[in-house]
Structure 1
Amino acid sequence: MIALSKIMDASRRLNGVVQNTKLAFAPRLSAKREANVYVKQENLQNTGSFKLRGAFNKIATLSDDEKNRGVIAASAGNHAQGVAYSAKHFGIKAVIVMPESTPLLKVMGVKELGAEAILKGNNYDESYAYALEYAKENNLCFIHPFADDEVIAGQGTIALEMIEAENNLNTIVVPIGGGGLISGIGAVYKQMIPNTKIVGVVAQGAAAMYHSFLKKEIERIDSVRTIADGIAVKNVNEKNFGYILECVDEIVMVDDYEIAEAILFLLEKQKLVVEGAGASVVAALLHNKFQISKNENIGLVLSGGNIDVTMLGVIIEKGLVRAHRKMRFSVTLIDKPGSLQELSNLLSSLGANIVKIDFDRISTSYGDASVSIMLDTKGKEHQELIRNKLRINGYEFSESF
């Protein structure tokens, strides 16, 4: 594992550059699992992610010749912004290769920091391969997002801050993409407080590290697909895998529905905007993916907050439907004055608020109209009451989600 001295050196370099983000007690999460849960808010870090730490530490250690040549990185977004921010700090050229599906927020963030953004490839691994070729052709210094000791040392400074803030945490839960973050955090805890349990969380749609950890040998997958783009890494890197075997006790897996629920929970209950990768650790906690003792002290690393606004809107909408707080149904009415008002009055009498309505005469029989309605509702029992009243009053309807 990475030497503690190297991580402490990184901490000195990062002093005054990165924020010592708050390790905040999370009362609602704590109540959910009858434990004492703390969240390390790297979603509020400069550039919105922990990635700034590793990128800055690596670039700070480059020789003058390497800095003068300029740097290049491949990233789904957060490492990109970290490299761009650091390059701007040192006044050097930066080129970032990003997957074509990268959220616009992250692409714009890179450009605003003065770096050149190249969209290439369907996922990180394809962008990575292109960036290596581009680096050779243009004599640029490649900054790896996770398989580099100086990058890992930078990420490990998070653990130093956590220990300084709360030195009696029993379990630390960390998202895993390439593995640089958990390699750094795990190295600190295993050298400073060895009995601390380190739990990694992967997305089900990018689970190569999960399967590799179980088998204790590298397993490969054909593709990745997850809303947690920050941890959507297809291949397992040998260096990081070795570090993970040394300092990680358990790896668990969460699916996109669980991640989306966690994003919504953090937004509504903790007043925090967290991207899918960061929310994965909360998903693991909410869905009992790892064992917890009563009153155990747990630290969750919220790795980033750079979520695409469009994606956030979809997550909120679907989350409200799954929580029975929105209801969407279609009903066919006789196309005559007052039909829609009668239906509206019925829904109003039940305390259901119409938030959207579509009226379609084209796709139905002559004399009829198809009406699609979305309602704000007050839970599962309220929705069942609405269904029963519609049936009693002779309405035939179908629900959609």
Structure 2
Amino acid sequence: MIHKYIERILRARVYDVASETPLDRAPGLTRRFDNRVYIKREDLQPVFSFKLRGAYNKIVSLDDAAKRAGVIAASAGNHAQGLALSAQQLGIRAVIVMPCTTPAIKVRAVQNFGAETVLFGDSYDEAYEHALSLAEEQKLTFVHPYDDPEVIAGQGTIGMEILRQHTGDIHAIFIPVGGGGLIAGVAAYVKFVRPDIKIIGVEPDDADCLNRALKAKRRVILKQVGLFADGVAVRQIGKEPFHIAHQYVDDVVTVDTDEICAAIKDIFDDTRSVAEPAGALGVAGLKKYVASTGVRDQCLIAIESGANINFDRLRHVAERAQVGEHREMLLAVTIPEKPGSFLDFCRVLGRRSITEFNYRYFDDHAAHIFAGIAIADGSRDSEEIIAQLREHGFAVTNMTGNELAVEHIRYMVGGHAPRLLDETVYSFEFPERPGALLKFLSFMGGRWNISLFHYRNHGAAFGRVLMGIQVPKAEKRAFREFLDTIGFAYREETDNPAYRLFAGGNASS
């Protein structure tokens, strides 16, 4: 099978539309991690992503009749723009089906390349099914974003470029993974030419479809995926990519949202480019690999796969980058509600920098403080701070990895209910489209009262909502059935310590 792909990669016609991107040395990362670190700059492509390589290679391979009929795809992101530009270059019709949640800037970007856009459904899966129906009705060729040999071969030209640009020793190449087209193409070429080089996939820890498939030795379908790195938010690895990956991928590293944000900052520091979350996965995985293996004095290469990030998401990235770099910790600290307690708290911290401090009076006995503290040495420094606070009699809960605390509670400190409300608390992901909240409330009707509500948007297709709802015990089952019916991703947070300390009606208990 690998020989088939080598032949396809060598004759791929991607350079009619794509550029051979540079392999840039990352001086900051090189110094910090005692390895020679390079970044493959696919963010410099005409559509700011590698996706046009595979899209163009697929449609240029079609026969004349298929080209005359046109092509269609389902995508809200980089594949859409790559296919639109490729079709424009070849002068053929292109139709892109996009979820209704797609930000207007992405819709316009596709239209600016001359493609027709069809908005359908709230998710990629719904748009995908509609695109297949339109393809059959209008005799269009469906161009899959990753599960197609010609698409995989187009992406594989990145591996060919890397080996041509760096002829010396390479320890490992770190590759973002969504549906698997990129890692399959690069792995096929690199392992054929240089089997000594490690191929390491990198996935978000809440969208690790390849990681789980390799462990199960078969493709699996994730029940739901995280949406922060929306460019790789795929529930199942592609069939064809998995055939290649299970033979040639050496390892998969998973990273969390904070680590991705920290990698975006690292890339900016070294290149002055702003990667999208999916585009920064390679660097995030490289950093985690070095930390876990202790590898030194090696050549490590990360593929920066794209830079299509909405400007208003940068606030969220900046907020979380310090935590991802292990330079900030978030603590919930309980101190006596009496004069001098704040001073005692600050004396324990000494000259450490406080990055955030939230407090509001609640009762006469105890004060709950939400504090961000700059740290210098990762987990060792964190453990030392917590130990010192506890030695001085302060109750401490580490909130650094608590998603509810980071996304909602830090903005709600002081929002305690005045009495015990018997509320159940859930976090939801709402599609960013008009009527989403109305749909939720309409389904719920007047059966249950909303006692808490906090909404955060980060410029993504989905906004995050924290909601408290008063549900009598006898109606718990009916309420659960309601949640499953509306189709929004949710998680119960009633027992989350961040909620109980800073927003619950029984916070002092």
Counterpart-to-counterpart distance in 1, 2:70 and 2:115? 11
Q: Which AA in structure 2 matches 1:89?
A: Q
Q: Is the 8 A contact 2:18 2:45 kept in 1?
A: yes
Q: Which AA in structure 2 matches 1:43?
A: D
Alignment partner of 1:121: what SS? coil
1:5-84 equivalences in 2 (<5 Å): 5-10=7-12, 13-84=13-84
Q: Deviations over 1:60-96 (max 9, x none)?
A: 1111110111110112310110100011011111111
Alignment partner of 2:293: what SS? coil
- Cα–Cα, structure 1 residues 211 and 127, in superposed 2: closer, same or farther, change >3 Å? same
- Cα–Cα, structure 1 residues 113 and 292, in superposed 2: closer, same or farther, change >3 Å? farther
Other-structure match for 1:310: 312
Partner residue of 1:299 out of 290, 298, 301: 301
What's the CA shift for 1:319?
3.2
Q: Deviations over 1:235-279 (max 9, x none)?
A: 222221111112111112111121112112222343121111111
1:233-312 equivalences in 2 (<5 Å): 233-288=234-289, 291=293, 293-312=295-314
Q: Is the 8 A contact 1:76 1:229 kept in 2?
A: no
Unaligned runs of 5+ in 2: 331-350, 362-371, 377-384, 386-408, 412-509
- Cα–Cα, structure 1 residues 292 and 198, in superposed 2: closer, same or farther, change >3 Å? farther
1:84-103 equivalences in 2 (<5 Å): 84-103=84-103
Alignment partner of 2:303: what SS? strand
Counterpart-to-counterpart distance in 2, 1:318 and 1:252? 20
Other-structure match for 1:128: 128
- Cα–Cα, structure 1 residues 288 and 192, in superposed 2: closer, same or farther, change >3 Å? closer
In angstroms, what is the RMSD of aligned CA positions? Answer: 3.3
Other-structure match for 1:105: 105
- Cα–Cα, structure 1 residues 67 and 292, in superposed 2: closer, same or farther, change >3 Å? farther
Q: Deviations over 1:200-253 (max 9, x none)?
A: 011122122211111211221111223111111112222211111121111121
- Cα–Cα, structure 1 residues 105 and 312, in superposed 2: closer, same or farther, change >3 Å? farther
Other-structure match for 2:229: 228
Q: Which AA in structure 2 matches 1:152?
A: I
What's the CA shift for 1:379?
4.8
Counterpart-to-counterpart distance in 1, 2:86 and 2:329? 44
Counterpart-to-counterpart distance in 2, 1:172 and 1:288? 11
Alignment partner of 1:195: what SS? coil
Other-structure match for 1:204: 205
TM-score (norm 1): 0.79
Unaligned runs of 5+ in 1: 327-349, 355-362, 365-376, 385-398
After TM superposition, what 4+ stretches of structure 1 lie above 4 angstroms from structure 2?
320-326, 377-381
Counterpart-to-counterpart distance in 2, 1:293 and 1:30? 12
Counterpart-to-counterpart distance in 1, 2:103 and 2:276? 11
TM-score (norm 2): 0.63
Q: Which moved more, 1:133-142 or 1:177-186?
A: 133-142
Alignment partner of 1:287: what SS? helix
- Cα–Cα, structure 1 residues 61 and 23, in superposed 2: closer, same or farther, change >3 Å? same
Other-structure match for 2:431: none
What's the CA shift for 1:52?
0.6
Q: Is the 8 A contact 2:170 2:300 kept in 1?
A: yes
- Cα–Cα, structure 1 residues 321 and 36, in superposed 2: closer, same or farther, change >3 Å? closer
1:144-163 equivalences in 2 (<5 Å): 144-163=144-163
Other-structure match for 1:333: none
Other-structure match for 1:170: 171
Q: RCO greater where, 1 or 2, for CA within 8 Å and sep 6 or more? A: 1
1:342-353 equivalences in 2 (<5 Å): none
Alignment partner of 1:200: what SS? strand
Counterpart-to-counterpart distance in 1, 2:211 and 2:329? 34
Other-structure match for 2:348: none
Q: Is the 8 A contact 2:28 2:269 kept in 1?
A: no
Counterpart-to-counterpart distance in 1, 2:315 and 2:217? 39
Counterpart-to-counterpart distance in 2, 1:20 and 1:42? 9
Q: Deviations over 1:102-123 (max 9, x none)?
A: 3443222111111112233333
Q: Which AA in structure 1 matches 2:211?
A: Y
Q: Deviations over 1:265-323 (max 9, x none)?
A: 22234312111111111111223376352111111110011011111232124436875
Counterpart-to-counterpart distance in 1, 2:188 and 2:202? 17
What's the CA shift for 1:378?
11
Q: Is the 8 A contact 1:226 1:256 kept in 2?
A: no
Counterpart-to-counterpart distance in 2, 1:251 and 1:99? 29
Q: Is the 8 A contact 2:200 2:253 kept in 1?
A: yes
- Cα–Cα, structure 1 residues 103 and 201, in superposed 2: closer, same or farther, change >3 Å? farther
Q: Which moved more, 1:267-276 or 1:150-159?
A: 267-276
Q: Is the 8 A contact 2:223 2:235 kept in 1?
A: yes
Counterpart-to-counterpart distance in 2, 1:152 and 1:298? 23
Share of identical aligned residues, percent?
40
